[in-house]
A and B are shown apart, each in its own frame.
Chain A
Amino acid sequence: MEVKPYVRTAMLDGKPAPVTSSGPAGWLKKNLFDGPWNTAATLVALVVVFLLLSHLLPWVFQSVWNAENLAECREIIDATWGPEHSGACWAVIHDRYLQLIYGFYPWDFLWRPNLTFAMMLVAIAPVLFTQLPRKMLIFSCLFPFIGAWLLWGGSIWQPVMVLAGFGIGAAAFRYLAKVNRILSIAAAIVLPVIWWVFVMETVVHGLHAVIPLGLEPVQSNQFGGFMVSIIIGLTAITCSLPLGIMLALGRQTELFIVRTFSVGFIEFIRGVPLITLLFVASTLLNYFMPPGTNFDLIVRVIIMATLFSSAYIAEVVRGGLAALPKGQYEAADSLGLDYWQAQQLIIMPQALKIAIPGIVSTFIGLFKDTTLVSIIGILDPIGLSNAIRADSAWNGIYWELFAFIGFVFFIFCFSMSRYSMYLERKLNTGHR
């Protein structure tokens, strides 16, 4: 065969794409009416959506918002839309929304959870959005103490002295670091624990006797509703991420004892249902405590939920670590970064970014699992829905309460999901 010589004399300019493959018309054709099967499927789907909405929308919107009880609700619906119509009775939400939000928290003190919620928004803002001033993080660190004090009440010296424990730890670490590194780490852990367990209560009593500042105490069993879901969910989410990261690193380390403990912990927790752990928290845990200690039930539940989700977080983070090329570790090593610097600056920022979808899924799962606490008698929204039904006025109402609770949970979970997508987009710097 003879080769035909060819030389291009002018380079070509780009042309716009043909109309049929772009614009709304192109989109419709490509996505909805591409061939007979695709067209048929589109039409069937449209009919199904129409049937669903034609039943659902009248129930939701041709409904009653003001009534004293379920019977009155039904009468109003029959009188307005006829006996054939089935409409929702949102009056139960209107009647009981305060209870669904706060449980049996004393009505006079509702400003306390409200203020805590507002402060919570301020505290998590700088964590979620890095463009906010970094100084706001100081408030984020203090918020758990202020929030707990506002919600549970009691002497102001309680949170102050808990904070002082951290101060004692930091001071011990700083002064003993000059003497011996291991000794300083041990002291930084042991001294605060001694302070919190044995010394603090006496000091708090003493200070409170001298300067009696404080809020009316509120017992845990008065907490309820979405307030309790948010307290348990948010605290467990916040605590389980660092714990999960440490477990993931522990599982990868060459230190045999640390690795064995991490693997054992993760596999144990993942092998046990959350409900079992919650029962342990509500009943068994007290047997292991020194007699006389009254460990708050909600705190016990938070600890269990944290441990539970940290095991899942650990595995998700391990997936992120495994996805990192080995070269990243080598580059960090070759520059002389030590283990913790490499983790903090190079490895974790990338591994966590890869793991964002999994981490947020775990968080969403954890937040929804907080409804399981109704089984051990905490009045979360699901527990309250039973309590509300026990009232003769609302006996027999199911759908409206569950729909409302589901709707509120959806708002929270959908926000978390959207935030995770925002974060992924923001951290995307192109591959490699």
Chain B
Amino acid sequence: MTDTAVNTAPAGMTVSDEVAIEIRNMNKWYGQFHVLRDIDLTVYRGERIVICGPSGSGKSTMIRCINALEEHQEGKITVDGTVLSSDLKNIDKIRSEVGMCFQHFNLFPHLTILENCTLAPIWVRKIPKKEAIDTAMHYLEKVKIPDQANKYPGQLSGGQQQRVAIARSLCMRPKIMLFDEPTSALDPEMIKEVLDTMIQLAEEGMTMLCVTHEMGFAQAVANRVIFMDAGQIVEQNEPKAFFNNPQSERTKLFLSQILGH
């Protein structure tokens, strides 16, 4: 399978030739179960990739391998020039370069919104507290919730919590952002506010890998859509071609099921 970095994005979203993530022949097993099979993927800086597929197809597992939340048994992952090995130093370095947003937000409930955002910059990046607060307020303004800074996560709506989670990741000034079904746990009324934040991020040129079923988002923002099934990459293409003219039978079936009602 070959990579195709197709640039059909709206103006302002450009993809460079520089490689951000390279995955070669990655295999992963849960016990005897082969969850990821021969994954090959090159992500260029500035790309916005949407990964879709049926549940259990390994899409979350794949992006979680990139920041070593899951361990892979075979193959090589290079993130921003650093090879992912069992060396804890490399893992911590990669994790501080790669931001991640989760389906269930995973904000720290015992800390205020502001503390959630300043914690990692202060302790991992060793940034002075005052500077960390300034950065945090900057990103909270960007996700449009600066007035909630001193509340606790439990006092916010789901959509607001997810936007805080995005701001929290951005405070580490990551080069790459991973999104693991960021809108799946949200009420329909709140999905849009989160997607708007993500679109804004894409327009600023962030490299993004996004596991999602929001096909509207894929069509508006992605420069590449990847379809996974049974632990493998089955098809990838630019969004227009992917949705209008899918090649594999499995992709056609999947698209007819999620778009057909």
- Which residue on chain A has the smallest CB distance to residue B122? A345
- Is the CB–CB distance between B96 and A336 below 8 Å? yes
Q: Check if A8 is an interface residue, CB within 8 A of chain B.
A: no
Inter-chain contact A432/B154, CB cutoff 8 Å: yes
- Given A341-B123, A345-B119, A430-B154, also A334-B109 (CB < 8 A): no
Residues in B with CB closer than 8 Å to A334 are 67, 69, 95, 98-100, 169
Docked-complex contact B106 and A429, CB < 8 angstroms: no
Instruction: Count contacts between A and B, CB distance < 8 Å.
Output: 72
Binds B, one of A14-22, A274-282, A346-354: A346-354
Q: Could you say which residues of chain B place their CB within 8 Å of the CB of A432?
A: 109, 153-154
Min CB gap A333→B, angstroms: 6
Which of A327, A335, A353, A431 is B95 in contact with, Cβ under 8 Å? A335
Chain A residues with CB under 8 Å of B65's CB are none
How many chain A residues touch B (CB < 8 A): the figure is 22
Please tell me if A114 contacts chain B, counting CB pairs below 8 Å: no
**Interface of B toward A, CB cutoff 8 Å:** 67-69, 88, 92-93, 95-96, 98-100, 102, 104, 106-110, 119-120, 123-124, 152-155, 168-169, 172
A430 touches B69 (CB 8 A): no
Q: Are B69 and A330 in contact (CB under 8 A)?
A: yes
Contact between B106 and A330 (Cβ–Cβ < 8 Å)?
yes
| Chain B contacts for A260, CB-based, 8 A | none
Q: Contact at A336–B104, with CB atoms within 8 Å?
A: no
Set of chain B residues within 8 Å of A337, measured between Cβ atoms: 119-120, 123-124
Given contacts A327-B102, A430-B154, contact A333 B95 (CB under 8 A): yes
A-B complex: 4 closest residue pairs judged by Cβ atoms:
A430-B154, A336-B96, A331-B106, A327-B106
Choose from B109, B120, B169 the contact partner of A429 (Cβ within 8 Å): B109
Asked if B153 contacts A333 (CB within 8 A), the reply is: no
Nearest CB in chain A: distance from B208 CB, A: 15
Residues of A within 8 A of B172 (CB): 335-336
Query: Which residues in B have their C-beta under 8 angstroms from that of A325?
Result: 104, 106
- A338 in contact (CB, < 8 A): yes
User: Within 8 Å of chain B (Cβ to Cβ): is A427?
Assistant: yes
Q: What is the distance, in angstroms, from A342's C-beta to the closest C-beta of chain B? A: 10
A-B contacts besides A333-B67, A335-B96, A335-B120, 9 pairs, CB < 8 Å: A331-B106, A334-B100, A335-B119, A335-B168, A335-B172, A336-B92, A336-B120, A338-B88, A349-B110
CB atoms of B108 and A346 under 8 A apart:
yes
Q: How far is the CA of A197 from the CA of B168 in the complex (A)?
A: 50
Tell me the A residues contacting B by CB distance below 8 Å.
325, 327-328, 330-331, 333-338, 341, 345-346, 349-350, 353, 427, 429-432
Most buried by A among B120, B154, B169: B120
Known: A336-B120, A336-B124, A337-B123. A431 touches B106 (CB 8 A): no
A contacts with B: majority SS: helix
Contact of B152 among A335, A349, A429 (CB under 8 A): A429
Q: How far is the CA of A328 from the CA of B109 in the complex (A)?
A: 9
Pairs A–B under 8 Å by Cβ, sample size 30? A325-B104, A325-B106, A331-B107, A331-B108, A333-B67, A333-B69, A334-B67, A334-B99, A334-B100, A334-B169, A335-B124, A335-B172, A336-B92, A336-B120, A337-B119, A337-B120, A337-B124, A338-B92, A341-B123, A341-B124, A345-B123, A346-B108, A353-B110, A427-B110, A429-B110, A429-B152, A429-B153, A430-B109, A430-B152, A431-B109
- Please, which residues of chain B bring their CB within 8 A of the CB of A430? 109, 152-155
Chain B residues with Cβ below 8 Å from A345 are: 119, 123
**Which residue from chain B places its CB closest to the CB of A344 in the assembled complex?**
B123
Q: Which residues of A contact B123 (CB under 8 A)?
A: 337, 341, 345
The reply to whether A429 and B154 form a contact with Cβ atoms under 8 Å apart is yes
Query: Closest residue of chain A to B107, judged by CB?
Result: A331
- In the docked arrangement, what's the CA distance between A346 and B106, Å? 11
Q: Which one of B69, B102, B123 has the highest number of Cβ atoms from chain A below 10 Å of its Cβ?
A: B123
Q: How far is the CA of A327 from the CA of B67 in the complex (A)?
A: 14
Residue in A closest to B108 when the chains form the complex, CB atoms: A346
Instruction: Tell me which residues across on chain A come within 8 A of B120, comparing CB atoms.
Output: 335-337
Residue on A with the closest CB to B120? A335
Which of A333, A335, A353 has the most chain B CB atoms closer than 10 A to its own CB?
A335
> Chain B residues near A331 (CB, 8 Å)?
102, 106-108
Docked complex Cα distance between A92 and B153 (Å): 58
Residues of the A chain whose Cβ atoms lie less than 8 Å from the Cβ of B169: 334-335
Q: Which residues of B contact A427 (CB under 8 A)?
A: 110
Report the bound CA distance from A330 to B153 in whole Å.
17
With A330-B106, A333-B95, A336-B96: A431-B124 Cβ-Cβ less than 8 Å:
no
Report Cα–Cα, A330/B104, bound state, in Å: 11
Give the distance in Å from the alpha carbon of A325 to the alpha carbon of B98 in the complex. 22
B67 surroundings in chain A (CB, below 8 A): 333-334
Cβ of A315 to closest chain B Cβ, rounded Å = 22
How long is the Cα–Cα vector from A330 to B64 in the complex, in angstroms? 10
